Amino acid sequence: MDKHRGSRLSELFGSLGSFFRKCMFCILSMGPIPNHFAFIMDGNRRYAKKEKLEEGAGHRAGFSVLMSMLKYCYELGVTYVTIYAFSIENFKRKPDEVQNLMDLILEKIEGLLKEESLVNKYGIRVYFIGNLKLLSKPVRVAAEKVMKATANNTKCVLLICIAYTSCDEIVQAVHESCKNKWEEIQPCNSHKSFSGRVEEVDGKSIDDGIGHSVQELFGVQTNELRATRASTFCNDVANGVERTDKKSGVVGHAVHGSCDKWGEVQSLEASRTGDGVIPNVKSEKLLVDLSILKVVDIESHMYMSVAPNPDIVIRSSGETRLSNFLLWQTSNCLLYSPNALWPDMRLWHLVWAVLDFQRNHSYFEKKKKQF
């Protein structure tokens, strides 16, 4: 009898809590609502130590809070939520601790596919962001399974950063951008005639019997030297350093904007004459245009390219460091740092974060327009 009465009271208070939360969210919705929340879940180990819990209990308590925060965010109308689950730097912790965390992550990943899970209730698409090759095979396979299973969900998006650091993200994005840029340049080999002769390039006749591809304009004669020079050129350009190739005089530098020259390369191929010669080609100008690495190229290869930049980053425990998290994406982003450890985070912390965002919204909008 007492159990039944206690259960009914619990349901009543739960319903009242849900009602008041909806009322509060309706009031908040009168102002701008962040489209993208990012969470740095700091303080799980300190919480366990403070509460004298066994190792790993703090992370389990933190996961329960995470589920509540996700529910609040999606009820509020937030579309994107990103969480910093496991840094590459965390692999440097004690092996036993890392293994316990991996076991917990695997357990929770598998739980995302259960019928009653938050993912299915709110129609959430899940992405795992980071260098997934660093994960153990069971965790990696489970993550891929969840991403595939939720690929058709369109209401909300959850991005789980695991085996992630922003430095690693930027490095791989620059690497992939340089690789793609080099592959774009390859069609310019069509400048090389079948007879080993190009009639005219920028008004200069070239006839040395061996033909001139883009690689040769760069002054590259061997595959090994070609790879070395291309890598150096791309790395310097990616770092924003003006780079001039001594033999060709080609200058590369990083700029904003987008200019795809692929169609121009194809038109060059179409202009080839019957004997394989391309006359009057502005090849060096084309080569310069093709070799420019742009911000949009790098951003398209970021792990986080599947989502817009965050509007607000919440880091628990009062810390104001980003700890190598979304450094590229947070230049115009509010950082909110409540003193509570992550397992102590509650609804009112989220509400205060939204109010802080609304108070500073006009300022951040002006800053975005400047860019």
* Tokens found for residue 279: 């006359």
Q: How far apart are CA 47 and CA 341, in angstroms?
A: 7
Blockwise average pLDDT, block size 10, the chain, 371 residues = 61 75 92 96 94 90 94 94 96 92 93 83 94 95 95 94 97 93 71 43 42 40 48 50 48 42 53 50 60 87 96 95 95 93 96 95 84 64
Closest to 62 measured CA to CA, from 83, 38, 34, 90: 83
Instruction: Read off the amino acid at residue 191.
Output: H
Q: What is the pLDDT of residue 272?
A: 52
Active site annotation includes 42: yes
Calculate the alpha carbon distances from 292 to 226, 228, 232 in Å: 17, 18, 14
Contact 192, 211 (CB under 8 A): yes
Q: How far apart are CA 167 and CA 170, in angstroms?
A: 5
Q: What is the CATH number of domain 34-171+298-366?
A: 3.40.1180.10
Phi, psi of 296 (to 5 degrees): -65, -30
Closest to 174 measured CA to CA, from 236, 259, 228, 89: 236
Q: What is the pLDDT of residue 193?
A: 41
Q: Locate the domains of the chain by residue range.
A: 34-171+298-366
Contact 129, 303 (CB under 8 A): yes
Contact 140, 132 (CB under 8 A): yes
Q: How far apart are CA 326 and CA 170, in angstroms?
A: 10
Contact 300, 261 (CB under 8 A): no
Q: How far apart are CA 180 and CA 186, in angstroms?
A: 10
Look up the pTM and report it. 0.73
Q: What is the pLDDT of residue 229?
A: 52
Q: What is the pLDDT of residue 284?
A: 61
HSE (side-chain half, CA atoms, 13 Å) at 14: 6
* Tokens found for residue 64: 């329960």
Q: Which residues contact 84 (CB under 8 A, 6 or more apart)?
A: 38, 39, 40, 41, 161, 164, 323, 325
CB neighbourhood size of 232 (10 A): 12
3-state secondary structure at position 127: strand
Q: How far apart are CA 278 and CA 264, in angstroms?
A: 13
Q: How far apart are CA 173 and CA 156, in angstroms?
A: 25
Catalytic residue among 2, 42, 202, 297: 42
Q: What is the pLDDT of residue 185?
A: 76
DSSP annotation of 281: B
Which run of H or of E encompasses 173? helix 166-185
Q: How far apart are CA 237 and CA 92, in angstroms?
A: 33
The angle subtended at Cα 165 by Cα 59 and Cα 306, nearest 5°, is: 95
Q: What is the pLDDT of residue 247?
A: 47
Q: What is the pLDDT of residue 16?
A: 81
Q: Which residues contact 283 (CB under 8 A, 6 or more apart)?
A: 188, 191, 201, 202, 214, 217
Q: What is the pLDDT of residue 223?
A: 47
* Tokens found for residue 226: 């070609």
The angle subtended at Cα 363 by Cα 341 and Cα 40, nearest 5°, is: 20
Strand partners, 38: 82, 313
* Tokens found for residue 253: 């530098």
